Structures are given as structure tokens and as C-alpha cells.
Amino acid sequence: MNCPDLREGLFESFEELVEIEVCLSRAKVPENNKLLRCFQYIKMDSVSVGDYCWNGECTNCQIWYQAQNGEIKSGLACRLYVWPGMVITGLSAALKTDLAD
């Protein structure tokens, strides 16, 4: 599934990759994309076939992140857009499994 042709149309338009922190690990992901798509960019094979509804109903993509004011908040990766320097402090069990090395 790592073929570039299969990635065509998956991601919203982006010109550059931005760096984020995912549970103390750094990653570069496409700007202007929802976080679940960014996770798919990182681990195409496992996230693509993971147990996600992609529309906010299942909550399997729940994350905890540091808001720009420093507060820890929860959100759904399928609904939250990535921003440069984003810090993700926790992942749902499904995401932990699918993003594991």
C-alpha cells in the first residue's frame, strides 16, 4: 500500500510537511490535513485498515493534545486539523496499536 499512486486523492492539498510530536516522538506530516490522515501518512498500511469510521462516530481515533494555551484537551483525529508544532500527549488504544513501530 505504500505506492504513491494509491496515496493520490487521500490527502488534502499541501505544499509542505510540518513537524508534530506524537507521544514524545517527532514526525513530519502534511499540512492542511486532518490528524487521522496525518497518522495514515506516517503508517499507511496499519492506519488504512484500522478500525476507524473516519467521521467521528466510533471515537476509536481519540487523542489528547496540548492546546495552544497549554491546556490538555481531547479530540478526534478524524475531525482535528494538524498545525505546526502540535503536541499529542495521548492516543486511543487503536491508534497506539496502529502507530507502534
- pLDDT per position as a tens digit, 18-49: 999 999 999 999 999 999 999 999 999 999 99
pLDDT at 100: 94
What domains lie within the chain, and their CATH numbers? Answer: 4-99 (3.10.20.30)
Average pLDDT over residues 65-87: 97
According to the 3-state scheme, what is the secondary structure of 51-62? CCCCCCCCCCCE
Write down the pTM of the prediction.
0.88
Average pLDDT over residues 77-96: 97
